[in-house]
Amino acid sequence: MPTRHDDRSEPLAATPDTRPDAPAPAARFSPLQHLMYGHIYADAVRAVIVHGIADLLADGPRTAEDLAERSGTQAVPLRRILRMLATRGLFREENGAFALTESGAGLRADVPGSQRATALLFTDEMFRRSAENLPDTLRTGEPGFETAYGLPFFTHLSATPDKSRLFDAAMTSRTGQADEDIAGAYRFPASGTVVDVGGGRGGLLREALTRSPGLHGVLFDRPETVADHLLDTEELAGRWRTEGGDFFTAVPQGGDLYLLKNILHDWPDEDCLRILRTIRRAVTPGTRLLVIDAVLPADGSPHPALALDIVMLMVVRGRERTAAEFQDLLTRSGFHLHRILPTRAMSSVIEAEATADAKPEPEPAR
């Protein structure tokens, strides 16, 4: 039977101070617990986007009751979700009301640099179902997306216009600030022609042409993508054209500088070589190529693209790469890696030039 402790016995183990004014003990919350709850935060972000909560806060703080009435939601669950997201810096709770933070403002639909489309894409069922199949991906090496949908990701996009539009909008919103950072980190030529291969709606090309008034550009991508381009401005009039096509087959010839932004990370090595060799056959020795992608540190240090690498693993067959891996791809396709320029964005600028060696042989029929 336990004995009673008194002043002559060993002291008791420390117990919480229960006085009303005592400081609360620090809660134990391990990194593992944060990871386990990760999908909850993502789903909560999607929920407030779907109901336009951030847009309703554009003019200032509102109570959960006011927000609920305006959005057609219930005040109690809304308050709980906003309270949780406030701990992640998207909202701020003050005097019984909620306000947007600078980060949370990116969830609005009507602001420059909006991340609304990006958040909707990465919380879409396409990515959720792909992530659910990661255990199978570890076993088979196959993308979880293909397990879930039975076809490759980009084939699915081509067959579903609404998902294709979401993807294009997300890529535009995700890279808007990055385009400025990249164009600010690399000195584009004052004249000549730049060909943006797989350039989407042309955000980076627009930045390059804006900064170099004597430069002309060609935006090359899928016909349905370039049809919704961003180049039709008075400042750029007469200095650009669009061309639809397949960069596995052929790209526009005659350029002085070629861009390949956020393309190679979508593909496995063999397909990257096909893309690079297609460009090499279109250019002459000395032509510059800018591969713009994240460059993973070789020493395993933290980098935001490490998470994106898992997205590539579960959705497509691509990957993020180290400098040595980019150098290998470029060398094998007839280019010499000249330098790597870090930028304020997640991506770096990998500058290469076509070598004087014989052009690579055409790819065999597939």
Residues noted as catalytic: 265
d(CA 256, CA 75): 58
Nearest Cα neighbor of 113 from 210, 45, 181, 37 is 181
- HSE at residue 71, side-chain half, CA atoms within 13 A, is 24
State how far Cα 208 lies from the chain centre: 21
d(CA 221, CA 233): 19
Do 73 and 80 meet the contact criterion of CB atoms below 8 Å apart? no
Nearest Cα neighbor of 201 from 176, 243, 230, 223 is 230
φ, ψ of residue 192 to 5 degrees: the values are 100, -165
**What 8-state DSSP symbol labels residue 151?**
S
The number of residues in the chain equals 366
State how far Cα 96 lies from the chain centre: 35
Indicate the burial class of 26 (C-beta count within 10 angstroms; 0-12, 13-18, 19 or more): exposed
Nearest Cα neighbor of 123 from 33, 36, 38 is 38
The string of DSSP letters for 296-313 reads: E-TT----THHHHHHHHH
Q: According to the 3-state scheme, what is the secondary structure of 220-262?
A: EECHHHHCCCCCCCHHHCCCEEEEECCCCCCCCCCCCEEEEEC
